[in-house]
Amino acid sequence: MAFVKLLTFFFLQLILVVLALDLATAQGLKLGFYKKRCPSAEAIVNQTTIQFISRAPSLAAPLLRMHFHDCFVRGCDGSVLLNSTKNNQAEKDAIPNQSLRGFQVIDAAKSAVEAKCPGVVSCADILALVARDAVSVIKGPFWPVPTGRRDGRTSILSDALNNLPSPFSNITQLKASFSSKGLSVKDLVVLSGGHTIGISHCTSFTNRLYNFTGKGDTDPTLDPNYITQLKKKCKPGDATTFVEMDPGSSKIFDTDYYSLVDKRRGLFQSDSALLADSATKTYVQQQATPSGATFSTDFAASMVNMGQIGVLTGNSGEIRKRCAFTN
């Protein structure tokens, strides 16, 4: 009986991924878009990513995050990769991007692909593929990446500030942010699980430890014992120290994030906020139970959804020659 249930369950997950893929196709993306014009593109990107991540597994997290930051600002159009110019401050220079890392992986993959088929494969697609392959290398979930995204020509600092959800967001703000990108409440709680890997600087959460409402108080939604531990690492005003978001397994893509949130140890207010809504709370609690965990397949489906936000296809945008510059 349990086996039948499990089978039914996997079948349903499969349907979800297939449905998400259908939607992606409807947006003009498709699996194997470069099959004819650059058959080795995906293999080259994969090889490059493996080279970097097997040497430095901690780079998988910032690369996953970079794809998220790209998609939430002007759609998945590679705008996060553009450098500022004399007359324009790009997204890269916005505060939330200060801690983005791994641009060298994108640049290396792009150079390798350009050497084989110049001017064919977009930086936006390369970023989407690198994020997927990087998570694969650390044995995280695998998701299909329909391709055919084209690169945007615009990147504006204030767009990043206005479109990226802040770690100080409450549940209402988070839902509104995801909904404005066409993502569901389920996508919100599932994709937040990306915080099972990687690090955060103290500045993203010290307000919760020292002066939460301006009365020298702490955030009552954060476990007091955890506050004591975090205070040892992060002194007020410390802008350089960072901590693992999932202490002890920050390089392993597991369901610990949900156990932490469930124990009121989610690092950001935006993590704790998932307990403030009955649907997201239920999901958190399910994932925190080993037998109830569907995170891996859910994450795959939600990444497909995220990867199609506001994509440029057809004749829109361009195929950049170098990812940091428009042509």
Query: How is residue 322 written in tokens?
Result: 């170098």
Instruction: Let me know: does 324 contact 82? Beta carbons within 8 Å.
Output: yes
CB 30 within 8 A of CB 221: no
- Part of the chain binding ligand HEM (CB under 6 A), chosen from 45-53, 110-118, 154-162, 190-198: 190-198
Residue 91, annotated as binding a ligand: yes
Cα of 13 vs its chain's centroid, Å: 20
With CB atoms as reference, the residue minimizing the distance to ligand NAG is 214
Overall residue count recorded for the chain in this entry: 327
Residue 75 annotated in ligand binding? yes
70 labeled part of a ligand binding site: yes
Q: Could you tell me which stretch among 109-117, 186-194, 224-232, 275-283 binds ligand HEM (CB under 6 A)?
A: 186-194
Hey, which residues between 82 and 111 contact ligand HEM (CB under 6 A)? 99, 101
Q: Is 108 helix (H, G, I), strand (E, B) or coil?
A: helix
199 scored as a contact of ligand HEM (CB under 6 A)? yes
Type of residue numbered 135: V
Instruction: Examine residue 27 and tell whether it contacts ligand HEM (CB under 6 A).
Output: no
Instruction: Say whether 67 is catalytic.
Output: no
Q: How does DSSP assign 203-216, residue by residue?
A: GGTTHHHH-TTSSS
Question: Active site residue: 17, 29, 52, 69, which one?
Answer: 69
Which of ligand HEM, ligand NAG, none does 95 bind, CB closer than 5 to 8 A by kind? ligand NAG
193 annotated as ligand-binding: no
Which element (helix H / strand E) includes 260? helix 256-262
Min separation Cβ 197 and ligand HEM, Å: 5
Distance between CA atoms of 119 and 136, rounded to whole angstroms?
A: 27
Q: Name the residues annotated as catalytic.
A: 69
Residues in the annotated binding site for heme b: 195
Residues in the annotated binding site for substrate: 165
